[in-house]
Every structure is written in C-alpha cells, then in structure tokens.
A and B are shown apart, each in its own frame.
Chain A
Amino acid sequence: MDIVVLLKQVPDTETLIQIAPDNASIKTEDVKWVINPYDEFAVEEALRIKEAQGGGKVTIVTMGPERAVESIRTALAMGADEGLLIDDPAAEGGDALGTAKVLAAAIRGVPCHVIVAGQRAVDDDCYQVPAAVAAFLGIPQVSMVVKEQIQDDKIVCECTMEGGAVVVETELPALFTTQKGINEPRYASLPGIMKAKKKPLARKTLADLGIKPSEAGEAGAKCRVMNLTFPPERSPGKIIHGETPEAKAAELVRLLREEAKVI
C-alpha cells in the first residue's frame, strides 16, 4: 500500500512572532522550524498503515524552501521511505489554494492509495490545503480522523466533530486529515537517523510540475494578506484579595455580576 504524507515545516509554537517591515509577513530570523505538529501524527499514521498492510511505500511531499529538507529527513528517520521537496521561489507567498495546486501536481506523479495530512498547519491555521488537494485529485476527503482502519479498498474512519464523533466508510484512494488523539508519533531512532541520510529525496520546481508562476505563489493568490497586526492587548487585571477563600469567592462573584456583568 503506497501512502503519501503532506508535510509542512512551520515555526515552533513557542516562537515569538514578530511582524516583518512589509507588514504582511513575519520575521523569520529567530524562528525555530519544526514539523507541523498535526503532520507528525500524519507521518506516524502512514507508517502504521504501511506496517498493518505488510508493506508499501511512504512518500513525504513538502512544499517549501531548502530548510524544509530537515523536516523531511526527520520523517524519513521515523521510517518514511522517500521524500519530495517542491522548492521554487515562485511558489512562495501564495495562498492555500496555490499550495494545494502545487502539491496535487506533485502527487499525480506518485501513485498512491492513501494521502495523509495534518488537519491544519499551525502557522496559517487555514485548514484548507488537504481538502483542496483532494478536490484537485478528484478523491474523497475525510477530516479530523482519530482512528482509521483500511479494509480492502475502503477506509473506515472515526472523525471528531462538535458533540462527539462520526464513523464513516470511504472508497480508496482517499485523503484523510489527522486530529490529535489518533496516535503517539514515534521518535526517530539513531539507526533510523543514519538510514534517513541515504533515503531518496527528490527536488522539483514548478516548471517540473507543469505549473506556471501565475498559478501559484503570490502571483496566483486568491486570498491575499494585506496586513498583519497584533491583537489588542488585554488591559491588566486585578488580583482579588481576601482573608479567606470564601471572602475572595464572594468578591469575585460580586465583580463578575456588577463590574463584568457576565453572570
């Protein structure tokens, strides 16, 4: 069973985000780059599918600059078999739709039965690329999966939503996105890290994929960031003092009723 994993390299969630002088992007100088947390679940689930199926190939597909190679190598060290990096300046600064067009074009050259992606990237929080990739490839999508099982040419997924979960069965080939709780990603072992250095990692440009610069990147963006601002800072609050827990509780309830008026 051949599996493709969509992997994105993003700033670590601890990163102090600073707005760049162009006001429409962030400063990247002091950023620590990591695999998008939800994509770690995706890599792990792909490996589990391969193991459950008794074989196959897991290919990591990433769009990004050269530094993203490190994240692909980490996935290879976990056990993925091959990597494909689409690295092209013309692909940068685009929206999710443009990214999805590029990834879909790259995947068309990689036959697979299942595509696994994280439910969203924690930098742009768009939730859009995986669904758009599935749409461009003409395959069904299943979002927010916490459990999956492949049975012959179908996949059964448990998907979380407000109020609980729904179990669905979908025909393969299909794409599903991972939600936290689906698995615990394995750590790359030292032998894994050594093996990863020799695993194939191909690099492609937009031209290799037959995509014109006007279709992707900033030129092709249909949702454009005009500016970035910081959210308004919360005004400093107050610590409630009191002789006893009961006194503090009474004062809090009074303030919530009379001052905040939320209860």
Chain B
Amino acid sequence: MARGVLVLAEQFEGRFRKVAYEALSEGRRLADALGEPLTGVVLGSGVEAMAAELANYGADKILAGDDPALADYTTDAYGNVLCDIVKDHDPKILLLGASTRGKDLSARLSARLDTGLAMDCIALRIDGNMAVATRPMFGGKVLAEVAIQGMPAVVAIRPNVMEVVAAQKATAVEKVPVNVGAVRTKVLEKKLEAAAKVDLTEADIIVSGGRGMGGPDFSLLEQLAEVLGGTVGASRSAVDEGWRPHSDQVGQTGKVVSPNLYVACGISGAIQHLAGMGSSKYIVAINKDPEAPIFKQADYGIVEDLFKVVPAITAEVKKFMA
C-alpha cells in the first residue's frame, strides 16, 4: 500500500541545491496533509554526513545512497538507484526539483515506473487521494491544473518558487544499498564556473540587459548586480548578437526565472522574454523608448538612457548600504 512522500534532495558538488530545501519543505506540507511520513533521499559519494541536514526540514526518515559509483550524475546510475529506493519504500508521491538533472531523471523515472509526472510545477495540493499540481504551459501564458495518477505520482517543482520552511526533527541517516546497474554514460569533463555565482534560475535578484546595451560591455549591469547581490541576465537579442553567452539568456528559449526583483535594462519586452521573467515578484524596466512593451509589465519604469540611470542607481544603492 503506497504511503508517504519521498523527496530526492539534489546535491551538487557536495552542496544541496536550494530547490532541495524547497522540495523538502513542500514534501513536509504534503506529508502533513496526508498524515503520512516524509522521507528525504540523498544520492552521491561521501554524502552521508550532509544527509543529516535533511532533519532540519522535517524529514521523518533520511536515506543516503552513498557510493563512489554515484560520484558523478548519470541517468543510468541515479535512475537505477532511485528506482530501487522507490520500489523498496513504495511512496505515494515522489518529489524532486526541476533542475536540469531533476528534469532528466524525473522524465526517465516516470517511464520506468509507468506513472504520471507533472513537470515544473509551481503549486501542489492533495485532492482526496490524488496529487494535483499547477504548472505553466505555453511559455507561462496559461496555468494548467493537472491530476497525477500512478504510484508514486512524480512531481518536479520549479526552482525558486516554493517556500523553504525549517522544521526540526531528530532523524538519523540510514544508508541504503546502492546498485547502479549497467551505466552506459561516463563523465569526461566538468566545465563549471566559480561556485559563488548564483544560477539565474535560483537568483533572487537579476539585472538583465537587452539590445539597448548596444554591445558586449555589460559592466554597468555587473556593477549594479554586485551591489544588489544579484545575477546578470540577458535577452535573446543580446545573446543572438553574440554579446552574452546563451546560459545568460532569460526567456522562452532561455531560462525561466522567478526572482524577487528583475531589472530589465534596454529590453523591449517581447512576449518570449516575458515567458522567462513574467513571474518575477517585482519588475523594473529601464528603456529610452517610452513605447517599449515592457513598461506594461513593469511595476516601476524609468524612461531614460540606461547608461545614465543604471550607474546612478548603483551609486544610490551604495549610499544606503554604507
């Protein structure tokens, strides 16, 4: 009889992703609604110690799949181990973060377990004995409420949307057997940026530049982002011009972000850009063109030359931070 909520707390290079805490918190909420236990799972190599942290977010049980064979993520290894854990523990709901790997793994798992998957969800609830999720479609133009069937119902939550809630429990870490099975993929190289940089999908403040930047020099935006503690993004125009890497692109064919503050500089506000940042809590638009569509979406707009006003904003922020 399927019971409880199982959350895969994604760790990367020895640290939990922020979405892991969000998934655990949401898992705790659902477990309480069901009156059933919450189990947190950590997979990796040398992760037994960090797994204990899950007790701070309400896990009734903590499972650590700790093995050198899990040092690097591969769909085969993590998929096989997680499948085994799911079969052994028979949860009603399997929750993960919809990070790049979370998307890869949850999609594979849904097919292996022949069960329903709701991907990139922004809300979740229990209706009777069914999990119902809210997820954006058509680039966020509509929200769909979906009912998920199958045991377990698999839900991948959009990063940076759900609340992190601390909930202390005295839970010990249990090591589980790890059988990675036939692994057909090998990691050859990791090309990772400095760990300190916050990914756009996890950022609370984003300063973004578009065609109005006129070239690859985004230093004014970088300076503003630095004083605000934010991350720099870019519109498709800036990326297509070759000014910024694709990994900086916010939009329908780029990243979907949900910061508290999104500052759009020299960005006109095409529908596809909105698809990427429309769920920002507050939007500031700075553009020379008063007709730019972005002003219709912005909470605060400044019609001005960004090269004059952005450094002024940086100076103002520095003043009150001093």
Known interface pairs A164-B192, A249-B315, A253-B313. Does A128 touch B117 (Cβ–Cβ under 8 Å)?
yes
Size class of the contact patch on chain B: 35 or more
The prevalent SS among residues of A at the interface is mixed
Select one of A136, A160, A229, A230 contacting B100, CB under 8 A. Answer: A160
Chain A residues within an 8 Å CB radius of B174: none
B45 within 8 Å of A (CB atoms): no
Stretch binding the partner chain, chosen from B27-35, B54-62, B183-191? B183-191
Query: Is B312 a contact of A136 with CB atoms below 8 Å?
Result: no
User: Chain B residues near A238 (CB, 8 Å)?
Assistant: 299-301
* A225-263 interface with B by 8 A CB criterion: 225-231, 234, 236-240, 245-246, 248-250, 252-253, 255-257, 260, 262-263
B142: A residues at CB distance < 8 A: 17, 19, 26, 228-231
Contact mask B117-141 → A, CB, 8 Å, 1/0? Answer: 1111000000000001001111111
Nearest B residue to A141 by beta-carbon distance? B75
Per-residue B-contact encoding for A157-168, CB less than 8 Å = 1, 0 else = 011111111111
Option from A125, A127, A169, A229 in Cβ contact (under 8 Å) with B188? A169
Residues of B contacting A: mostly: mixed
Could you say which residues of chain B place their CB within 8 Å of the CB of A158?
A: 191
Given contacts A245-B304, A263-B261, contact A228 B117 (CB under 8 A): no
* Chain A residues with CB below 8 A from B299, complex form: 234, 237-238, 260
Contact B282 A260 (CB under 8 A): yes
A22 on the B face (CB < 8 A): no
B179 at the interface (CB under 8 A from A): no
* Interface residue? A124 (CB, 8 A): yes
- Per-position 1/0 for B84-118, Cβ under 8 A of A: 00000000000000111101100110111011111
A39 within 8 A of B: no
Residue B74 lies at the interface, judged by CB distance under 8 Å to chain A: yes
Q: Does A156 count as interface, using CB distance less than 8 angstroms?
A: yes
Partner of B184, one of A26, A140, A224, A252: A140
A249 lies within 8 A of B100 (CB): no
B146 partner residues in chain A, CB cutoff 8 A: 223-226
Q: Are B301 and A240 in contact (CB under 8 A)?
A: yes
Chain A residues proximal to chain B, CB less than 8 Å: 11, 13-15, 17, 19, 26, 37-38, 95-97, 100, 122-128, 130-136, 140-144, 146, 156, 158-171, 174, 179-181, 221-231, 234, 236-240, 245-246, 248-250, 252-253, 255-257, 260, 262-263
A-B contact pairs, 20 of them (CB 8 A): A17-B141, A26-B138, A126-B117, A132-B110, A162-B17, A163-B12, A163-B193, A168-B186, A170-B185, A223-B146, A229-B142, A231-B143, A237-B298, A248-B302, A248-B304, A252-B300, A260-B261, A260-B282, A262-B205, A262-B281
- The 9 A-B residue pairs whose C-beta atoms are closest, nearest first, are A222-B116, A131-B107, A249-B312, A135-B111, A132-B111, A245-B308, A164-B192, A162-B199, A237-B299
> Contact residues of B with A, CB < 8 Å?
12, 17, 74-76, 98-101, 103-104, 107-108, 110-112, 114-120, 132, 135-150, 184-193, 195, 197, 199, 201-202, 205, 228, 246-247, 249, 252-254, 260-261, 271-272, 275, 278-279, 281-284, 295-305, 308-309, 312-313, 315-317, 320
